[in-house]
Chains A and B, each alone.
Chain A
Amino acid sequence: MTDSAGAPPLTQPLQDLLARFEAGEPFALARSISLVEDQAEGFESLLHALHDRLGRARRLGITGPPGAGKSTLTSALARLLRDAGETVGIIAVDPSSPFTGGALLGDRVRMDELATEPGIFIRSMASRGSHGGLSATTREAADLMDAFGFDRIILETVGVGQSELEIASQADTTVVVLVPESGDGIQAMKAGLMEVADLFVVNKADRPGADRLKKEIGIVNSLRTGGPQASVPAHHGVDLSRKSRPTPPPEPIEAWDPPVLMSVASSGEGLPELAAEVDRHHAWLRATGSLQSRRAAAAAEHARIVLERAVTRRGAEAWRAWIEEVGDDAGLAGRSPYETARILTARICRDAQ
């Protein structure tokens, strides 16, 4: 029995939870996030039931290497937004141990003053084996916060290197936080972290090297975007702007050039400027239609992930049944892995009918 959109109906306990969620009870939000995070029975039906309420919140991603001050910056920014009257949901992701599955989630230490603030809801999530800098269900936890009615959602990733860049496909605006000590790593980072930034923040800017880092980011960034490099003279001073060159057609939409900001998150310095630049980026997204296209791409990606999850689940079920059926590996021995997979794929398709 499924409804028109193909999700099984909610069980009674989930219907009750949904009613409390819609009534705005924080407990119901917290419990819903747990169910989603645990991928408990019926969690996709719950998300399906709330789907029409999505799309109002602005999603901001905060990422950067370990120790860059992401939590402190997140906390300070949330404070600022809250003081301006906005409600803020925060999801802070920390890594799970690949060995024990346990995790120490310590981001709240830096968000202490927000703990009892009405209008702010903080949730710590462990990465639970995901390698993209977020956990597998972070997007859906953010969806729940969106459905609950928060104006802003801040997603804080684990401390990242070059490859944990999932945040960029989930946030409207991605902020990459670096510190003066990150300078040496910039060259290495340009292939990964540097590409996802809509804004750069050089945090702990009261330390030596901040100005140099800002300049380096600017150079790496303009290499990437192909923007003008005012600070870099042409090679041997050759004038490349010859009149005979065909002038490129004017770009229909002005491209976004990621600004580099300075902050000292612990004292709040540079935070109003950051908030203003986040707003400016959002206005740019709206003006250019990028917001719509980004969110459409995110929605497609989400659907693909949900499909993959369903297929994986069915695959695991088929596999368990198969192992039970053949007893030990003697039953597998006579077949090639390809044959086994073909038989099981056929079964999965048949069972899905």
Chain B
Amino acid sequence: MNDKKIRVLVAKPGLDGHDRGAKVIAAALRDAGMEVIYTGLHQTPEKIAATALQEDVDVVALSVLSGAHMTLFPRVVDLLQESGMTDVLVTGGGIIPAEDAETLQAKGVGRLFGPGTATTDAVEYIRAWFTDRGVGRSTE
């Protein structure tokens, strides 16, 4: 009867108001059979972390187009760690130079997707990460 679903928080932190990308990704993940929690624009890292905890998501996907990715991604990762959410994948997309993406990945952020990404790539990435990790949310 185990009915495990991948739960993803799609959030749009920061001040830019461009949420088309986040919405497209949210819809693609939904259509891939995932449960997507969408929270709208202008989310603070604190809100994102609190939401991720309450919703017990497997994945936090952030869309950042404002250039503030070097601040926002690590902040969300730190807050999740602090609240004991150590098994959550933080991934996302936006206008993020390759070297920045590398730096962020060294800080515990997952793959970051740039403009022109096929939605199927993002879906496959999350699915693969989920499969690699095992059957999902453990009770440990």
Contact = CB atoms under 8 A, between A and B. Distances in A.
A115 B33 CA distance: 26
Contact of B39 (A100, A108, A121, A123): A108
Given A17-B139, A102-B32, A109-B40, 17 more contacts: A30-B53, A30-B56, A31-B137, A38-B5, A38-B136, A97-B31, A102-B34, A102-B36, A105-B38, A108-B37, A109-B38, A112-B39, A112-B40, A115-B39, A122-B51, A309-B1, A313-B1
B30 A31 contact: no
Interface residues of A, number: 41
A104 B3 contact: no
B81 interface: no
Contact of B138 (A13, A108, A316): A13
B29 interface: yes
B140 A26 contact: no
A305 to B, nearest CB: 13
Given A13-B139, A27-B84, A116-B50, A105 B3 contact: no
A265 B131 CA distance: 43
B30 A128 contact: no
B51 A41 contact: no
27 contacts: A13-B140, A17-B139, A25-B84, A26-B53, A26-B54, A27-B53, A27-B83, A30-B53, A35-B137, A38-B5, A38-B136, A97-B31, A100-B31, A100-B33, A101-B33, A102-B32, A103-B35, A104-B26, A105-B37, A108-B39, A115-B39, A115-B47, A122-B55, A124-B35, A126-B5, A126-B35, A128-B3
B139 A104 contact: no
A40 interface: yes
A340 interface: no
Chain B residues touching A, range: 35 or more
B72 interface: no
A100 B30 contact: yes
A13 B137 CA distance: 12
B137 A34 contact: yes
Interface string B1-44: 11111010000000000000000001101111111111110011
Given A30-B55, A31-B56, A104 B36 contact: yes
A165 B138 CA distance: 34
A101 B5 contact: yes
A33 interface: yes
A30 B43 CA distance: 20
Most chain A Cβ neighbours within 10 Å, of B1, B33, B54: B54
A128 B1 CA distance: 13
Contacts of B34: 102
Contacts of A11: 139
Contact of B3 (A26, A39, A109): A39
Nearest to A40: B2
Contact of B37 (A40, A41, A124): A124
B46 interface: yes
Contact of A39 (B1, B29, B33, B53): B1
A313 B3 CA distance: 13
A316 B1 CA distance: 9
A285 interface: no
A40 B2 CA distance: 5
B46 A116 contact: yes
Nearest to A312: B1
Given A100-B30, A102-B31, A108-B37, A124 B55 contact: yes
Given A38-B2, A39-B1, A112-B40, A102 B35 contact: yes
B138 A38 contact: no
B3 A38 contact: yes
Contact of A31 (B32, B33, B43, B139): B139
B95 interface: no
What are the 7 closest A-B residue pairs judged by CB atoms, nearest first? A13-B139, A102-B30, A30-B56, A109-B40, A115-B47, A34-B56, A102-B33
A139 to B, nearest CB: 16
Given A14-B139, A112-B47, A126-B5, A104 B38 contact: yes
A16 interface: yes
Contacts of A34: 7, 56, 137
A100 B33 CA distance: 5
Nearest to B136: A38
